[in-house]
């Protein structure tokens, strides 16, 4: 919080890639505004996605989107879990999370995985380009992939 930042040297460079809430965002804002924090690197926020966030107004801040979770190992684990939960949802079985579910592609036909990855990246790009909240997503697909469009691809876009 503010007290901890006040104890730090002036002009510090601070990186938080652990979790949102480790530092209060108000304290980070005040630290940047006062110059106590000369530069801030952050990839987690209390509330995400961090659109129209006051910290984003500063030029001496670098923001990434959960790059700490983008190792091959973590992405593999996330993908496996998401697929298991997506398949459960598609089968009408309850699943514990609505968003950010990893997708287990081993249980899907091999041709589906690239579409899931593509839609996920398109959704990530859309959020970066337009900072307004997404109110709806509509996907249309033809051919054999169309059988998966309403469930798996929408799931990938939302997750």
Cβ-Cβ contacts under 8 Å for 71 (sequence gap 6 or more): none
* Residue 80: active-site member: no
Given the residues 13, 26, 30, 48, the one annotated as active site: 48
* Residue 59: active-site member: no
Task: Give the helix/strand (H/E) hosting 57.
Answer: none
Given the residues 30, 66, 84, 117, the one annotated as active site: 66
Please tell me the distance from the alpha carbon of residue 95 to that of residue 65, in angstroms, as a whole number. Answer: 25
Residues serving a catalytic function are 19, 48, 66
């Amino acid at each position: 919080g503010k007290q901890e930042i006040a104890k730090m040297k002036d002009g510090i460079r601070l990186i938080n890639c652990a979790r949102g809430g480790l530092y209060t965002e108000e304290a980070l804002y005040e630290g940047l505004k006062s110059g106590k924090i000369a530069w801030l690197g952050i990839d987690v926020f209390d509330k995400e996605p961090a659109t129209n966030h006051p910290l984003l107004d500063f030029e001496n801040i670098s923001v990434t989107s959960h790059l700490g979770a983008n190792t091959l190992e973590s992405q593999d684990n996330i993908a496996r879990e998401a697929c298991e939960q997506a398949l459960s949802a598609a089968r009408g079985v309850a699943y514990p999370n609505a968003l950010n579910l990893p997708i287990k592609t081993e249980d899907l036909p091999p041709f589906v995985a690239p579409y899931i990855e593509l839609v996920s990246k398109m959704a990530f790009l859309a959020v970066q380009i337009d900072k307004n909240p997404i109110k709806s997503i509509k996907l249309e697909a033809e051919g054999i992939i169309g059988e998966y469009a309403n469930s798996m691809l929408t799931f990938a876009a939302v997750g």
